Amino acid sequence: MRRIRIHNIFISLCIICIIICCSNSSKANGTDIKVLKVGEELWRETLPLHSGSCLYRLHGLKPYTSYEVKISYPASIPASFSLQLKKGDLELALTGNRRLLDTEKLIFKTESLGSDDQGIMSVLVSVEPEGVVAIPNVKKKEHIIFNIVCDELVLGIPYKAWWVVGFVVVCLALAFTVPSFLPPFLLPRVDENASKDS
């Protein structure tokens, strides 16, 4: 009877140790690790507002292709985000950070993605509070919500936005060709005397 109790306690301790080890393996130096797939936006991600950080492993990258990692967050919470590209355990120095209102962008280009040449690429997202909320009697926020996406770029434009470029080209083509098919009385007349006087 006593052996069975000791055996049960030992199994319980082993299970607790496994659970603790598994939960610690998903963190690197106190930083959460998540997966960010190319073309899929992660909605309503949260980070602690003070020294919050999260590492996003990038999946679905193609060799010799340009990508853009973009974060958008509410302007009602004054915060400063930073994005750092990492390859394996190395931090890559990039000057591609771009800040637009409540959006932070990082543009980079992959090289050959062989297992020997390049490790797993990831993006470290960090946030710090910036400024003061000027509304009286409002409690300071502890966490910030943001959306993050990694998009493939073609000629500097996100792949999913090329339909807009096509629409603009069609509209411009129509704007230049339709007037030639209109009857002359619908077109504005050019006064020849006014053009000679000028």
Other Cβ atoms closer than 10 A to 102:
15
pLDDT value of residue 172: 92
Rounded Cα distance, 54 and 127, in Å: 9
pLDDT value of residue 24: 44
DSSP string for residues in the chain: -HHHHHHHHHHHHHHHHHHHHHHHHTEETTEEEEEEEBT-PEEEEEEETTTEEEEEEEES--TT-EEEEEEE--TTS-EEEEEEEEETTEEP----EEEETTEEEEEEE-----TTT---EEEEEEEEE-S---STT-PPPSEEEEEEEEEEEETTEEGGGHHHHHHHHHHHHHHHHHHHHS-GGGSPPP-HHHHHH-
pLDDT tens, position by position, for the chain (198 residues)? 666 777 677 677 667 756 665 544 444 455 678 988 988 889 998 888 888 889 999 888 888 888 999 999 888 888 888 888 888 766 665 545 656 677 888 888 888 766 544 558 889 999 888 877 666 777 777 888 999 998 888 888 787 778 888 899 999 998 888 877 777 776 677 666 655 555
pTM of the complete model: 0.65
Residues 27 and 119 sit within 8 Å (Cβ to Cβ): no
Rounded Cα distance, 91 and 98, in Å: 18
Among 76, 185, 73, residue whose Cα is nearest residue 141? 76
- Which residues, other chains included, contact 35 with Cβ-Cβ below 8 Å and sequence gap of 6+? 56, 57, 59
Q: And the tokens for 169?
A: 């080209």
What are the CA-CA distances from residue 69 to residues 33, 91, 107, 174, 183 (Å)? Answer: 16, 16, 6, 35, 50
Rounded Cα distance, 140 and 161, in Å: 37
**Amino acid letter, 147:** N
Q: Where are the domains of the chain?
A: 28-163
Q: Which residues pair with 125 in a beta bridge?
A: 54, 83
Q: CATH number of the domain at 28-163, please?
A: 2.60.120.380
pLDDT value of residue 141: 78
